Amino acid sequence: MIDFDAVTMRYPEAGDVLRNVSFHLAKGEMAFLTGHSGAGKSTLLRLITIMERSSRGRVVLDGQDLRIAKEHQLPFIRRKMGVIYQDYKLLYDRTVFDNIALPLVIAGYGHHEITRRVRAALDKVNLTGKEKKYPLALSGGEQQRVGIARAVVNKPPIIIADEPTGNLDPELSAEIMFLFGQFQQVGVTVLIASHDISLITQLNHRVLKLDHGQLVTS
Amino acid sequence: MNYRKKNQTRNKVKESSLKQTKRQTKVAGGYFIDKLHAYRDQHAHALFSSLGRIVAAPFNSIMTISVLAIAISFVSGFYVLELNIQELAGHIEANNQISLFLRDDVSETHANKLAESIRQNSNVQSVKLITKDEAAKEFQTYSGFGSAINELEKNPLPIVLQVLPKKSLDKKQDLEDLQKEFQQSSEVDVVQMDLQWIERLQSIINVFELFADILNILLGAAVLLIIGNTVRLELHNRRDEVIIEKLVGATNSFIQRPFLYAGFWIGFISSISAWFIVTVLMLILRHSVEKLSSLYGGSFHLLFLTLTDTLALITISSLLGVLASWVVLSYQMHSTKLKQKNF
């Protein structure tokens, strides 16, 4: 589902941030991406979400080579993945419902289908009844779960999460990790960037460890 | 717990009703119709949410729209002015009469004889004699210096013969020949052809129109720039939203849509405000203009913006709004790549 083939990312001001990174994540696989800060985790995620294109090497997502994808194809490739951000990236002037519905609205779903799917996603992340609230009226954990609901509402085959438990207490973190496990069980490929070592070792999943731009364990 | 149970039953009811509606859409044409409705909903949402944003920030909106309304009202004001001046010039153009101012020593009886002889001229349609007294009376009524003439011992106004040439005599050369002919008679002091000053007036109008056209182009450019800049600021303010939309897979056209509608609304509302400004100004002017017109014995009625003019004004302004935001968006969307740190 996610293929890195000898990927190097070079910034003119910072040099090689990723060096010769290769790995393969199969469909329905769940993995952690870890490493010290500055190891290149963010850059790797930026390559997957097509905010950057690699300097060398191929990044292939669901059979699509991102290096040669045309600008107008990018939105449709992005719809294949649900991305969860550390800072949630919610729209604060819109209700929880509207936030979660956004990917569906963009994809052009009908009104009924949107309502049905948003409710299902809300139920999944245990936020039923909060759809009319605004994000700022929710706690950090709840906002994170709104972000997760938005990422999964479109039923994407890939979920990417950047430090999804960074701002949460251990109990909530475990709850959210459990949620990711559930997605994996239904065939979703999940990649989670995290440096919460204890949590990672607790869960027995594959770990991709970056060190100074190089993949040391995969 | 209780709450959750209630919710579940509610959801079940919802689901069964959803199934029903699904069946209905299938019958109605299914998937395609659903997509079409979704597309329509997207447009409707963009249309109304952009209006909502304009209303939600009344201070900014009022400032921008007032500036635009003033600029647009200048353009349409010039247009109405041109329209009225053309109309007025058309009124005057209808008569190419020649005024003969007789020498002071010519008596009224002599003047009558002269008028009679001119009437015999095959090129002349009619002659009207204005005596000194009549001229004085007219002067008193219309000039506004009525009392001044009473102060004078002797009526200084000459006898005037107003000669209206035949309609067939429309060539300039022929009129000038006629003028020369009158000039030769010893009783005539000055011959004044109204046509001459109509020509002058016409060329003044032409200069004015050219000036107005240039000014209109400049004002049009100003309208484009103001709307463009407003949309640019709006885009800047909503940068986060644009980026989030992009991240969850929005196409450029989806992102641009509300901004294009915002440009439309700004143009639309500004043009309607401009229409009000122009119409109110015209209503204020109407009374004075028509009084002035009646003083000159005319029946000139001020022309307002017609329905077609108004619709054209609104359409053009709205389109300018869309155009301005489109230009800004296509420039900004290319420069707003997702370069900022999102991870």
Q: What is the pLDDT of residue A25?
A: 93
Say if CB A97 and CB A147 are below 8 A apart: no
Closest of A8, A36, A25 to residue A61, by C-alpha: A25
Q: What is the pLDDT of residue B137?
A: 79
- Domain locations in chain A? 1-80+158-218, 92-155
Q: Mean pLDDT highest for which of A143-157, B109-123, B132-146?
A: A143-157
Residue B1 has pLDDT above 70, yes or no: no
Pick the CATH number of A1-80+158-218 from 3.40.50.300, 3.40.50.12780, 3.40.718.10, 3.40.190.10: 3.40.50.300
**């006629």: which residue's tokens?**
B178
User: One-letter amino acid identity for B208?
Assistant: F
A145–chain B Cβ distance below 8 A for any pair: no
B132–chain A Cβ distance below 8 A for any pair: no
First-last CA distance in chain B? 38
B28–chain A Cβ distance below 8 A for any pair: no
Nearest CB to A105 within list B11, B42, B338: B42
Q: What is the pLDDT of residue B136?
A: 79
User: One-letter amino acid identity for A124?
Assistant: K
Q: What is the pLDDT of residue B327?
A: 94
Residue B302 has pLDDT above 90, yes or no: no
CB contact under 8 A, B245 and A102: yes
Please, which residues 251-280 of chain B have a Cβ atom closer than 8 Å to chain A?
251-252, 254
The CATH code belonging to domain B97-169 is: 3.30.70.3040
pTM for this entry = 0.73
ipTM: 0.89
- Domain locations in chain B? 42-92+200-335, 97-169
Nearest CB to B38 within list A41, A51, A108: A108
CB contact under 8 A, B248 and A51: no
Q: Which residues of B touch A103 (CB under 8 A)?
A: 248-249
pLDDT in tens, B196-214: 777 787 788 889 889 999 9
Question: Where is average pLDDT lowest: A188-192, B231-235, B336-340?
Answer: B336-340
CA B234 – CA B53 distance, rounded (Å) = 10
Q: What is the pLDDT of residue B129?
A: 87
A109–chain B Cβ distance below 8 A for any pair: yes
CA B227 – CA B229 distance, rounded (Å) = 5
Tokens found for residue B294: 């009646």
Question: Where is average pLDDT lowest: A140-149, B1-10, B247-256, B329-338?
Answer: B1-10
CA A160 – CA A33 distance, rounded (Å) = 10
Quick count: other Cβ atoms within 10 Å of Cβ A179?
Answer: 19
Closest chain B residue to the Cα of A72, Cα to Cα: B251
**pLDDT band for position B91 (cuts 50, 70, 90):** low
Q: 3-state SS string over A10-55? A: EECCCEEEEEEEEEEECCCCEEEEEECCCCCHHHHHHHHCCCCCCC
Question: Where is average pLDDT lowest: A22-26, A109-113, A159-163?
Answer: A109-113
Residue percentage of chain B with pLDDT more than 70: 82
pLDDT in tens, B315-331: 999 999 999 999 999 88
